[in-house]
Amino acid sequence: MDDLIEVAVDSIRVHMPTGQHVVILKERDNDRYLPIWIGVFEANAIALKITGVAPERPITHDLMASTFGELAINVNRIVVTSLADEVFFARLFISQNGRELDIDSRPSDAIALAVRFECPIFVAREVLDRAGVIPEKDEEDDPSSEGDEDRLAVFRDLVNSLDLPELPDEPGSRGLGPSPS
């Protein structure tokens, strides 16, 4: 696991011009972030759990977590394993009755399950080295007064530099926090 770096979900952002959602993972021991574009439903699934909001009926990831629980399946960790052609790949590492399984997953689904099982989230060092972002420090600024918007300004620049297609409006979608733009 030396080539894996532990991260945590820092936030979920919405790029207002396109409606695209981004989950921001933050390296546990450093000030490096990994933005991953995700779908609106997965963004909602992650946001609901990390904000403690319980929907009236179980959403897909809640259903999966409940089913896993009934089948004595535990999600031990998830790993964002690679990045190819601007697409991230992930693996679920689960166990059932002493049997260890390694399952292919989209990072968004893996993260939605990880927050439900409260298991560690890792990213391959190679992926963080390629796609991770370190915010630039302004020497004149007082680091103790650094606000959320200042801290995430690097993502605003990243998101605004991307040329993404417009997405159709999806019923039931809502904002998930301040936009980076």
- Position with higher pLDDT, 34 vs 145: 34
pLDDT of residue 150: 58
Question: What's the pLDDT score for residue 19?
Answer: 85
Q: What is the pLDDT of residue 2?
A: 74
- Mean pLDDT of all residues in the chain? 83
Residue 18: predicted pLDDT? 85
pLDDT at 16: 83
What is the pLDDT averaged over residues 63-73? 96
Do residues 111 and 88 make contact, with C-beta atoms less than 8 angstroms apart? Answer: no
User: Which pLDDT score is estimated for 148?
Assistant: 57
* pLDDT one-digit tens code per residue, 132-164: 999 887 655 555 545 555 556 655 565 555 544
pLDDT at position 165 is: 43
Mind listing the pLDDT tens digit for each residue in 4-23?
999 999 999 998 888 899 99
pLDDT for 136 equals 81
Residue 75's beta-bridge partner residues?
A: 94
132 Cβ contact partners less than 8 Å away, ≥ 6 residues apart: 27, 32, 33, 34, 123
**pTM exceeds 0.85 for this model:** no
The confidence score (pLDDT) of residue 104 equals: 98
HSE toward the beta carbon, residue 111, CA cutoff 13 A: 36
Name the residue with higher pLDDT: 114 or 15: 114
pLDDT digits (tens, 9 = 90+) for 77-108: 999 999 999 999 999 999 999 999 999 999 99
How many whole angstroms separate alpha carbon 100 and alpha carbon 138?
46
Per DSSP, the residues of the chain read -TTEEEEEEEEEEEETTTTEEEEEEEESSSS-EEEEEE-HHHHHHHHHHHHT---SS--HHHHHHHHHHHTTEEEEEEEEEEEETTEEEEEEEEEETTEEEEEEE-HHHHHHHHHHHT--EEEEHHHHHHH-B-PPP-TTS-GGG--HHHHTHHHHHHHHH---PPPPP-TT----S----
Nearest C-alpha neighbor of 128 from the set 21, 37, 3, 1 = 3
Please state, as a whole number, how many other Cβ atoms lie within 10 Å of the Cβ of residue 172.
Answer: 7
Distance of CA 139 to the CA centre of its chain: 29
Query: What's residue 135's pLDDT?
Result: 86
Task: Give the distance from CA 33 to its chain's centroid.
Answer: 10
Cα(61)–Cα(44) distance, integer angstroms: 10
